[in-house]
């Protein structure tokens, strides 16, 4: 398996090593480990694993409508691929992902991810509401995932993109809400 396989799985299945929407912090810790940064605020919790960032809220109804008082559950998470270009420290990719998928490169061409998603039987469509001058947004069929792709790597600069930075067509992130 490869990092592209991981990204395609997230885009199609909406989960990371078995943890996804509605899962509590304990399920995410079981999947990705205990090494993370917890950022609480306004009754919410953002858990940052480097490549993967999860958002939790309290007392959210579960999949079957039951309230889980006193518990937190995931209401959204993102795979922040853009971080790999500028932070290549060993802690950026959680060890369970490295063991399962191998090396994670700092750049992922959208066409590679599109092919992998199509191979899993899904389609990808441009989401014009989420698209801007510098970022394309794509929706994966039958999934809560959105794939963000660099449209203009230097939207506010002189038009000379950094050759070591992001390029047009790089996947920026995959967000599941």
Nearest to 56 by CA among 75, 71, 34: 75
Distance in angstroms (rounded) separating the CA atoms of residues 139 and 21: 17
Q: What is the pLDDT of residue 62?
A: 55
Q: What is the pLDDT of residue 59?
A: 64
Please state the length of the chain. 177
Both tokens of residue 140?
Answer: 């994966």
Query: Are 169 and 110 spatial neighbours (Cβ–Cβ below 8 Å)?
Result: yes
pLDDT digits (tens, 9 = 90+) for 99-155: 999 999 999 999 999 999 999 999 999 999 999 999 999 999 999 999 999 999 887
Put simply, whether the predicted model's pTM sits higher than 0.85 gets the answer yes
Confidence of residue 166 (pLDDT cuts 50, 70, 90): confident
Both tokens of residue 25?
Answer: 């912090």
Both tokens of residue 51?
Answer: 């490549």
**What is the rounded average pLDDT of the residues 147-173?**
85
Distance in angstroms (rounded) separating the CA atoms of residues 8 and 32: 18
Query: Are 117 and 146 spatial neighbours (Cβ–Cβ below 8 Å)?
Result: no
Domain, as residue range, for 148:
3-176
The domain total for the chain is 1
């Amino acid at each position: 398996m490869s990092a592209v396989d991981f990204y395609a799985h997230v885009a199609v299945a909406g989960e990371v090593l078995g943890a996804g929407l509605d899962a509590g912090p304990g399920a995410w810790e079981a999947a990705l480990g205990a090494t993370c940064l917890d950022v609480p605020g306004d009754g919410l919790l953002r858990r940052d694993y480097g490549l993967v960032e999860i958002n939790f809220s309290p007392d959210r109804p579960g999949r079957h409508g039951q309230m889980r008082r006193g518990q937190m559950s995931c209401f959204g998470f993102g795979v922040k691929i853009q971080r790999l270009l500028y932070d290549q420290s060993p802690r950026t990719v959680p060890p369970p992902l490295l063991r399962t998928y191998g090396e994670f490169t700092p750049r992922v061409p959208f066409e590679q991810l599109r092919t992998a998603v199509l191979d899993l039987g899904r389609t990808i469509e441009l989401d014009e509401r989420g698209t801007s001058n510098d970022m394309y947004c794509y929706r994966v069929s039958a999934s809560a995932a959105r794939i963000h792709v660099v449209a203009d790597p230097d939207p506010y600069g002189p038009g000379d993109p950094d050759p070591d930075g992001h390029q047009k067509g790089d996947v920026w992130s995959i967000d599941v809400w």
